[in-house]
């Protein structure tokens, strides 16, 4: 699944030339495709031709880059056209390049924590590349590929570039472990099921990296939790998702992708009530369209519970202000 697909995110200064990183029990995290891209980019003073991109960047690229070409870049000409159309995105993404080794180092702890939570976790490679400015990344059972130029400008996420990358990759790496995320959703996929897949990636990503990817939703939903959750509850078993998922970042007044946030809260409640935490992790990872309603029921989560909690907190804050 994709975390986000946007045509517009962030920044850097110098290219870091680094070999693939691997260790026993750790997946390879490749950042060398980025260095090769900027070698071509610099030689052409920011306007590389399709031929130069093909020969210097795409032809010798990693397996992750080759897969990304098929899925998102499509051709060297389309990449050259994207650079010409949005030169600032590729220029500004350089700001993020020096952060890649630090992000890769922090990911070692993320993967170690994931294998502690799920000893059977698959560990395919992570590849960070420069794409066509049209997606933050793709995830398949074969690995995670991140489009740096999009993630770099996605400044509604964590302002710290290293943390932004770490939280995003932690989220996407959970999708590798979810059977439901590796196949097309069924035609009757419910809003609840799809939100639990995304919310599960947010929650387990938080357990492994320390924060959810869409941490801005914690701020943007403050004070509106009750309304949002009641609206979600109303449509949870339906198939309408356009108001909840993959609908863009939105604004603080009208946030997008709220299904991630509600799904996360449901999954968090499920894990909190579970006595067997390792079994709970497996239940979360293996949610599907048929068992999603049962997971919701066992979680104990209800919109009205959060509404009552919010009311109590508001009253306490009101009293604390001397009213």
Q: Is the pLDDT of residue 194 over 50?
A: yes
| Residue 3 counted as domain residue | no
What ranges make up the beta strands (E) of the chain? 21-23, 26-30, 126-129, 137-140, 143-147
Mean pLDDT of 222-227: 91
pLDDT of residue 304: 81
Across 286-309, average pLDDT: 91
Nearest to 214 by CA among 205, 224, 225: 205
Same domain assignment for residues 162 and 34? yes
Pairing of strands 21-23, 26-30: antiparallel
- DSSP code at position 184: P
Domain boundary residue, one of 177, 210, 226:
177
Whether the pLDDT of residue 22 is over 90: the answer is no
Q: Are residues 207 and 286 in the same domain?
A: yes
Please compute the mean of the pLDDT values over residues 51-61 and round it to a whole number. 97
Number of domains forming the structure of the chain: 2
166 & 214 share domain: no
Confidence of residue 308 (pLDDT cuts 50, 70, 90): confident
Residues 165 and 213 placed together within one structural domain of the fold: no
Q: Compute how many other C-beta atoms are within 10 angstroms of the C-beta atom of residue 311.
A: 11
User: Residues 6 or more apart from 234 whose CB is under 8 A from it?
Assistant: none
pLDDT at residue 322 greater than cutoff 90? no
Beta bridge partners of 137: 146
Segment 213-232 mean pLDDT: 94
**256 and 278 in a common domain:** yes
17 pLDDT band, cuts 50/70/90, is very low
Are the C-beta atoms of residues 209 and 313 closer than 8 Å to each other?
A: no
List, in order, residues 6 or more apart from 159 with CB less than 8 Å away.
Answer: none
How confident is the model at residue 141, as a pLDDT?
A: 83
Same-domain status, 205 and 161: no
* 136 and 276 fall within a common domain: no
Answer whether residue 86 shows pLDDT above 70: yes
Confidence of residue 311 (pLDDT cuts 50, 70, 90): low
C-alpha dihedral (107, 100, 69, 54), degrees to nearest 10: -150
- Res. 321 pLDDT band, cuts 50 70 90: low
Q: pLDDT of 269-284, one tens digit each? A: 999 999 999 999 999 9
Domain match, 39 and 149 both: yes
- What distance in Å separates the CA atoms of residue 151 and residue 168, rounded to the nearest whole number? 9
106 occurs within a structural domain: yes
User: Using CA atoms, how far apart are residues 262 and 225, in angstroms rounded to an integer?
Assistant: 9
Rounded to whole angstroms, how far apart are CA atoms 287 and 48? 45
Q: What is the pLDDT of residue 15?
A: 28
Q: Could you tell me the residue range of the domain that residue 259 belongs to?
A: 191-320
Helix-strand-coil percent breakdown of the chain, rounded to 5?
A: 55, 10, 35
pTM here is 0.88
pLDDT score at 24: 54
55 — phi, psi (to 5°)?
A: -75, -40
HEC string for 227-261: HHHHHHHHHCCCCCCCCCCCCCCECCCCECCHHHH
Which tens digits make up the pLDDT trace of 133-164? Answer: 999 988 988 899 999 999 999 999 999 999 99
Residue 143, Ramachandran bin (φ over 0: left; ψ between -120 and 50: alpha; else beta) = left
Give the end of a domain, one of 147, 177, 207. 177
- Residue 110 reports pLDDT greater than 80: yes
What's the pLDDT score for residue 3? 40
State the average pLDDT over residues 12-17: 26
Does pLDDT of 11 surpass 50?
A: no
Tell me whether residue 33 is in a domain: yes
- Residue 128 pLDDT more than 90? yes
Dist. CA 155–CA 213, nearest whole Å: 12
Q: What is the pLDDT of residue 180?
A: 96
- pLDDT confidence band for 312 (50 / 70 / 90): low
Same domain, 98 and 211: no
Residue 125's pLDDT is 97
Flag whether 7 is in a domain.
no
Q: Which of 177, 208, 227 is the last residue before a domain boundary?
A: 177
Residue 12 placed within a domain: no
Q: What is the side-by-side order of every strand in the sheet holding 126-129?
A: 21-23, 26-30, 126-129, 143-147, 137-140
* Same domain (yes/no): 219, 280: yes
- What's the pLDDT at 18? 34
* Whether residue 171 is found in the same domain as residue 301: no
Is residue 52, in this structure, part of any structural domain at all?
yes
Q: Per-residue pLDDT averaged across 195-201, rounded? A: 98
Are both 97 and 45 inside the same structural domain?
yes
Give pLDDT tens digits for 68-85.
999 999 999 999 999 999
% of the chain exceeding 90 in pLDDT: 82
Give the residue, 35 or 317, on which the prediction is more confident.
35
Residue 185 in domain: no
Q: Is residue 2 part of a domain?
A: no
């Amino acid at each position: 699944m994709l975390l986000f697909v946007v045509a517009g995110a962030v920044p850097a200064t110098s290219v870091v030339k680094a070999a693939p990183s691997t260790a026993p029990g750790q997946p390879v995290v490749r950042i060398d495709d980025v260095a090769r891209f900027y070698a071509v980019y610099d030689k052409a003073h920011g306007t590389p031709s399709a031929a130069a991109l093909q020969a210097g960047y795409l032809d010798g690229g990693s397996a992750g880059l080759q897969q990304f070409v098929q899925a998102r870049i499509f051709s060297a000409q389309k990449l050259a056209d994207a650079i010409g159309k949005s030169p600032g995105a590729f220029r500004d993404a350089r700001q993020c390049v020096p952060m890649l080794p630090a992000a890769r180092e922090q990911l070692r702890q993320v993967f170690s924590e994931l294998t502690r939570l799920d000893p059977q976790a698959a560990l395919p490679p992570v590849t960070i590349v420069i794409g066509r400015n049209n997606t933050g990344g793709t995830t398949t059972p074969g690995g995670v590929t991140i489009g740096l130029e999009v993630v770099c400008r996605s400044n509604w996420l964590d302002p710290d570039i290293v943390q932004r990358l770490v939280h995003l990759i932690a989220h996407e790496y959970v999708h590798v472990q979810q059977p439901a995320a590796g196949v097309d959703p069924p035609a009757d996929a419910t809003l609840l099921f799809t939100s639990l897949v995304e919310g599960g990636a947010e929650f387990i990503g938080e357990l492994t990296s320390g924060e959810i990817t869409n941490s801005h939703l914690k701020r943007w939903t403050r004070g509106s939790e009750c309304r949002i959750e009641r609206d979600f509850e109303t449509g949870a078993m339906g198939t309408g998702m356009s108001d909840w998922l993959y609908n863009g970042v939105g604004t603080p007044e009208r946030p997008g992708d709220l299904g991630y946030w509600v799904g996360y809260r449901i999954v968090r409640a499920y894990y909190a009530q579970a006595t067997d935490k390792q079994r709970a992790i497996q239940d979360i990872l293996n949610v599907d369209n048929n068992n999603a309603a049962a997971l919701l029921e066992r979680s104990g989560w209800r919109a009205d519970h959060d509404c009552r909690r919010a009311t109590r907190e508001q009253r306490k804050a009101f009293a604390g202000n001397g009213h």
